[in-house]
Chain A
Amino acid sequence: MSMVAAKSPPSGGDPPFHSSWQARIIALLVLVYAVYALGQLDFSFDRFVKGLDSGAHFLARMFPPSYKNWDQLLTGFIESMEIAVLATFFGVLISLPIAVLGARNLMPGWATWPARLIVTLCRAFNPVITAIIFIKAVGFGALAGVLALIVASIGFVGKLFMEAIEEISMKQIEAVRATGAPFMSVVIYSVLPQVMGRLVGFCSYQLDSNLRNSTMVGIVGAGGIGGVLFAAFQRFEYDFVLAILITIIAVVLAGELASNHVKRIFRV
Chain B
Amino acid sequence: MAVVLSIKGLVKAYRPGVPVLKGIDLDFEERGLTAIIGSSGTGKSTLVRSVNRLVNPTEGSILFKGQELSRIEGKALREARRRIGMVFQEYNLVERLTVMENLLTGRLGYVGLFDAWLRRFPADDVAYAFRLLDVIGLAGFANQRADSLSGGQRQRVGIARALMQRPEILLADEPTSSLDPKTSVEIMELLKFQGIDHNIPVLVNIHDVDLARRFADRIIGMTGGTVVFDGPPEQLSDDHLKLIYGGEGWLQ
Inter-chain contact B80/A180, CB cutoff 8 Å: yes
Residues of chain B at interface, number, CB under 8 A: 32
Q: Which of A169, A180, A193 contacts B108 (CB 8 A)?
A: A180
Map CB proximity to B onto A159-199 as digits: 1 under 8 Å, 0 otherwise.
00000000001011011111111101110111001101100
For B95, list chain A residues within 8 Å (CB): 169, 172, 193-194
Inter-chain contact B106/A179, CB cutoff 8 Å: yes
**Least Cβ distance of B177 to chain A in Å?**
14
For A194, list chain B residues within 8 Å (CB): 94-96
Total of A-B residue pairs, C-beta within 8 Å: 83
The answer to the question of B93 belonging to the interface, with a C-beta cut-off of 8 Å to chain A, is yes
For B84, list chain A residues within 8 Å (CB): 178
Size bracket, chain A contacts:
20 to 34
Inter-chain contact B78/A181, CB cutoff 8 Å: yes
Q: What is the CA–CA distance of A110 and B162 in the complex, to the nearest angstrom?
A: 33
Map CB proximity to A onto B77-107 as digits: 1 under 8 Å, 0 otherwise.
0111111101010101111110001000111
**Least Cβ distance of B120 to chain A in Å?**
13
The answer to the question of B161 belonging to the interface, with a C-beta cut-off of 8 Å to chain A, is yes
Q: What is the CA–CA distance of A188 and B111 in the complex, to the nearest angstrom?
A: 13
**Least Cβ distance of B121 to chain A in Å?**
12
Inter-chain contact A189/B78, CB cutoff 8 Å: no
Inter-chain contact B165/A179, CB cutoff 8 Å: yes
- Across the interface, name the chain B residue whose C-beta is closest to A194: B96
Q: What is the CA–CA distance of A189 and B101 in the complex, to the nearest angstrom?
A: 8
Interface residues of A in 177-228 (CB under 8 A from B): 177-182, 184-186, 188-190, 193-194, 196-197
Inter-chain contact B105/A181, CB cutoff 8 Å: yes
Name which of A178, A190, A193 has the most chain B CB atoms within 10 A of its CB. A178
Q: What is the CA–CA distance of A184 and B78 in the complex, to the nearest angstrom?
A: 13
- Across the interface, name the chain A residue whose C-beta is closest to B98: A193
- Across the interface, name the chain A residue whose C-beta is closest to B90: A171
The answer to the question of B109 belonging to the interface, with a C-beta cut-off of 8 Å to chain A, is yes
For A176, list chain B residues within 8 Å (CB): 94, 105, 108
Q: What is the CA–CA distance of A189 and B107 in the complex, to the nearest angstrom?
A: 11
Inter-chain contact A174/B92, CB cutoff 8 Å: yes
Contacts A175-B86, A180-B78, A180-B82 given; indicate if A189 touches B113 (C-beta within 8 A).
Answer: no
The answer to the question of B52 belonging to the interface, with a C-beta cut-off of 8 Å to chain A, is yes
For B96, list chain A residues within 8 Å (CB): 193-194, 196-197
**Least Cβ distance of B244 to chain A in Å?**
27
**Least Cβ distance of B161 to chain A in Å?**
7
Q: What is the CA–CA distance of A189 and B111 in the complex, to the nearest angstrom?
A: 12
**Least Cβ distance of A201 to chain B in Å?**
14
For A182, list chain B residues within 8 Å (CB): 78, 108-109, 113
Q: Which of A172, A180, A197 contacts B81 (CB 8 A)?
A: A180
For A172, list chain B residues within 8 Å (CB): 92-95
For B165, list chain A residues within 8 Å (CB): 179-180
Name which of A169, A172, A184, A188 has the most chain B CB atoms within 10 A of its CB. A172
- Across the interface, name the chain A residue whose C-beta is closest to B164: A179
Interface residues of A in 139-173 (CB under 8 A from B): 169, 171-172
25 A-B residue pairings within 8 Å (CB atoms): A172-B92, A172-B94, A174-B88, A175-B92, A175-B105, A175-B158, A176-B94, A177-B54, A178-B52, A178-B84, A179-B106, A179-B165, A180-B78, A180-B83, A180-B108, A181-B78, A181-B108, A181-B109, A182-B108, A185-B111, A188-B113, A188-B117, A189-B94, A189-B116, A193-B94
Given contacts A179-B86, A179-B109, A185-B116, could you give 4 more A-B pairs where the C-beta distance is less than 8 Å?
Answer: A171-B88, A179-B161, A181-B108, A186-B108
Task: Identify the A interface with B (CB < 8 A).
Answer: 169, 171-172, 174-182, 184-186, 188-190, 193-194, 196-197
